[in-house]
Amino acid sequence: MFLMMINIIFAKLEKYYHLLNSIKMKFKILLILAISLAFSACKTNKKEKADVESGETKKWEGGLIFPEEVHFKTLKQITFGGDNAEAYWSFDDQQLIFQSNNKEWGVACDQMFLMNVDETFKDSIPPMISTGLGRTTCAYFLPDNKSFVYGSTHLGGKECPPAPLRREGKYVWPIYETYDIFVADLEGNITKQLTTEPGYDAEATVSPKGDKIVFTSMRTGDLELFTMNIDGTDVKQITDQLGYDGGAFFSPDGTKLIFRSSRPKTAVAIKEYQDLLKEGLVQPTEMELYICNADGSDLRQLTDLGNANWSPFFHPSGKKILFSSNFESERGFPFNLYMIDLDGKNLERVTHGETFDAFPVFSNDGKKLIFSSNRNNGGGHDTNLFIAEWQD
């Protein structure tokens, strides 16, 4: 699902390339204009920028790590082409599963791939562990390190479902009703189907305790969070407010959930959301972070920054959240990683790129962080995986 965000970001790139090139403008400005169309939320930030430990975004030629990125001791590039994202660690931190649409790897849309943590893929291809049919999203290891859960549309057809980028000029994500959640082994053999309800079921992640799965479902008519046991039993609804609740992750101790949501408030916004949802679409340009207990209690909004705040993940301490946001940009671009306390205080900027950083995920031992970035891609569209040695 989240790779749709990347596709949206570059949808208008070619159209504006010729216009800007003709007046000799720098490629940086080209990217900013392209992204501003994809995330046209040009409004004043609700939180003063003085609250952010930030710094001017600079072009840096000295390596993969920008000077201000003090939390990165080292940084290693893993992939070198296509859109690669949502990489998740095995429970023993020895392997990673990620999704990619790299055409050089023989796929037409997002499929799941397996890698060892010390591998890179500049001149090699990782093994695909999804069926190669339909479109997939959000794979996550199960505690045995021998199997994983993921969302797939393959029961609805072997072809990649269409991926509309806009509807009446507005940029959208498709919510495929053919998505269901499956369990597979590391050879790609599906061993169980966990969801059978009509409509969208996807975005599954597993508690570090190894006992629960949280996922997003349309089974009530709206996009809500649910939990279930890792065998698919004991399904419980977690959220019940209008809006797209998704991208949820458990805290390190399994007691809390962090997620992003686009919750319409006005009559106009509610109607627009509901009309799009009837067409199997959502608009991802305005999202905030929410936190609650694992049973749904004590729900509260964590951020109030404006624009798109998404792809949250708990810091190993369980006391902070790392997430991606474009709130500092009046034109919707760039996206950088930020960190915030659970009480919404001490907002700190972590990355300082000029393009796109998102999908941060800590290893279970807390020593490494994998994320997706457009850095070091030669000015192209590719979104690659990077692993950082983390230091507080």
Domain boundaries, the chain: 3-390
Q: Residue 40's pLDDT is what?
A: 35
Q: Which amino acid is at 238?
A: I
Q: Residue 3's pLDDT is what?
A: 53
pTM: 0.87
The CATH architecture of the domain made up of 3-390 is 6 Propeller (2.120)
Angle at 161 (CA atoms; ends 160, 165), nearest 5 degrees: 115
Please give the backbone phi and psi of residue 324, each rounded to the nearest 5 degrees, phi first: -105, 145
Q: Residue 62's pLDDT is what?
A: 60
Beta strands in 22-130 (DSSP E): 72-77, 84-89, 95-100, 111-116
Q: Residue 89's pLDDT is what?
A: 99
Please report which helix (H) or strand (E) contains residue 20, including its range.
helix 13-22
Q: Are strands 336-341 and 348-349 parallel, antiparallel or unpaired?
A: antiparallel
CA dist 183 and 191 (Å) reads: 6
Please give the backbone phi and psi of residue 390, each rounded to the nearest 5 degrees, phi first: -90, 140
CA atoms within 13 A of residue 137's CA, in its CB half-sphere: 24
CA dist 317 and 302 (Å) reads: 17
pLDDT digits (tens, 9 = 90+) for 281-333: 999 889 999 999 999 999 999 999 999 999 999 999 999 999 999 999 877 78
Closest CA to 140 of 216, 206, 85: 206
| Residue 164 Ramachandran class (φ > 0 left, ψ -120 to 50 alpha, else beta) | beta
Query: Cβ neighbours of residue 88 under 8 Å, at least 6 residues apart?
Result: 96, 97, 98, 139, 140, 141, 205, 361
Low-confidence ranges of the chain (pLDDT < 50): 2, 8, 10-60
Q: Residue 41's pLDDT is what?
A: 33
| Residue 143 Ramachandran class (φ > 0 left, ψ -120 to 50 alpha, else beta) | alpha
DSSP string, 320-341: EEEEEE-TT-TTS--BEEEEEE
Instruction: Give 264: exposed, middle or buried? Use CB within 10 Å, 0-12, 13-18, 19+.
Output: middle
